[in-house]
Amino acid sequence: MRLPAWGLPALDLRERRPAAVEQMDDPDCDLDALHRTYRGFGVVNPVVAGWQLTYRRWIRPLLDPARTVTVLDIGSGGGDRPRALARQARRDGFRVNITAIDPDARAHAWATARPAVPGLAFRRAASGDLVAAGERYDVVVSNHLLHHLDPAELDGLLADSERLAVRRAVHSDIRRSPTAYALFSAGAGLATPLFPGSFIRPDGLASIRRSYTPAELAAVLPPGWRVQTQLPWRNLAVWDAR
Ligand SMILES: C[S@@+](CC[C@H](N)C(=O)[O-])C[C@H]1O[C@@H](n2cnc3c(N)ncnc32)[C@H](O)[C@@H]1O
C-alpha cells in the first residue's frame, strides 16, 4: 500500500506514526506562521473535516428549540470550528451556549482577538480543569484532537469527556489512508498560495500519518465508546450517556 509516484514521495502508511512532528505543537514555532495556520484552518477545516455531516447526524438531534443546549469544544485551537457551529445552530433556530477551551496561550489569544460570536465563549483551560471544577455540558466535541495525544493523554481526554458530557461526546478526527494523504498533499500543494508561510501542508500531512484507522482507534477506546466512520475520511469516537 505504497503511494504511487506522481511527484509525491513514496510513503508507507500501513502503520501509525505518532512521532511525526507537527510544527504548530512546538511552543517556540514561528508565531507569524502559526497565525497564518490558524487563519488557514478556517478555510481547510470546512473542506476536510466534514462537520456539516457530523453536526446533522450527531449534534442537531440533541438540540432543542425550547431550551439552550450547552456544548463544550475541547482543543479549539484557532476557534473556527466552534464559531461555525454557533452560526449553524443559530441558522437552524436553536439556542446553544458553546464553551471552547484550549490551554495553549497562543491559540487562546488568537481566538479571543477575533470578533465575538453570540453564544460562544473561549476559555484558556484543559478538559481536566473543567472536570475539577465540576462542570457539565450537554454535548462535548472536538476536532483533530485525538491524533495529537499520547496513550495516557487519550485515556485522560476520554475519561474527562465522560465526566463532562451529560448526553453525548463526539471526537472527530482524520482517518489515515493513502488516498487521503495523496489528495491532501496535492490539494494543499495547489492551495499553498492561499496560505503562504503557514504550517497547513506539512502539519496536515503529519496529522494524517499520526491519525488512526478505524480498527486502531476502536482498539484504544475504553468500554462505552465506539468508532463511527464518516465519508470520506473521518473517524468519530462517540460516547452516549446511558
Ligand atoms: C490540532 S489542535 C486542533 C485545533 C482545532 N480543534 C482545529 O480543528 O483547528 C489541538 C489542540 O488541542 C489542545 N489540547 C490538547 N489536549 C487538550 C485538553 N485535554 N483539553 C483542552 N485542549 C487540549 C492543544 O492545545 C491544541 O491547541
Per-residue confidence (pLDDT) for residue 82, from 0 to 100: 97
Q: Which residue(s) pair with 174 in the sheet?
A: 234
Q: Does the residue 190 lie in any domain?
A: yes
Question: Which structural domain, as residue segments, surrounds residue 226?
Answer: 23-240
Q: Does the residue 15 lie in any domain?
A: no
Per-residue confidence (pLDDT) for residue 10, from 0 to 100: 54
Cβ-Cβ contacts under 8 Å for 109 (sequence gap 6 or more)? none
Distance CA 189, CA 63 (A): 38
Distance CA 24, CA 20 (A): 12
Distance CA 101, CA 104 (A): 9
110 alpha carbon, distance to own chain's centre: 17
Q: Does the residue 9 lie in any domain?
A: no
Per-residue confidence (pLDDT) for residue 178, from 0 to 100: 93
- Which of 41, 47, 145 for mutating ligand 1's site (highest number of atoms within 8 Å of CB)? 145
Q: Is 127 in the pocket of ligand 1 (CB under 6 A)?
A: yes
Number of domains the chain contains: 1
Any idea which residue has 509525491 for its cell? 8
Q: Is 46 in the pocket of ligand 1 (CB under 6 A)?
A: no
Beta strands 234-240 and 225-230: pairing type? antiparallel
Q: Is 76 in the pocket of ligand 1 (CB under 6 A)?
A: yes
Per-residue confidence (pLDDT) for residue 19, from 0 to 100: 93
Distance CA 175, CA 217 (A): 9
User: Residue 30, by phi and psi: left (phi above 0), alpha (psi -120 to 50) or beta?
Assistant: beta
Distance CA 237, CA 175 (A): 11
**CA count, 13 A, side-chain hemisphere, 4:** 5
Q: Is 74 in the pocket of ligand 1 (CB under 6 A)?
A: yes
pLDDT tens digits in sequence order for the chain, 242 residues long: 444 444 445 578 999 999 999 999 999 999 999 999 999 988 888 888 899 999 999 999 999 999 999 999 999 999 999 999 999 999 999 999 999 999 999 999 999 999 999 999 999 999 999 999 999 999 999 999 999 999 999 999 999 999 999 999 999 999 999 999 999 999 888 877 788 899 999 999 999 999 999 999 999 999 999 999 999 999 999 999 98
Q: Does the residue 227 lie in any domain?
A: yes
Q: Does the residue 168 lie in any domain?
A: yes
Residue 200 cell numbers, joined:
497547513
Q: Please provide the size of the chain in residues.
A: 242
Q: Is 143 in the pocket of ligand 1 (CB under 6 A)?
A: yes
Any idea which residue has 478505524 for its cell? 214
Per-residue confidence (pLDDT) for residue 47, from 0 to 100: 86
Q: Does the residue 180 lie in any domain?
A: yes
Q: Does the residue 89 lie in any domain?
A: yes
Contact 124, 98 (CB under 8 A): no
**How many C-beta neighbours within 10 Å does residue 49 have?**
22
CATH number of the CATH domain containing 48:
3.40.50.150
Q: Does the residue 100 lie in any domain?
A: yes
Contact 230, 54 (CB under 8 A): yes
Q: Ligand 1 center to residue 186 CA distance, Å?
A: 26
Per-residue confidence (pLDDT) for residue 7, from 0 to 100: 43
- Which has the closest alpha carbon to 159: 74, 91, 38? 74
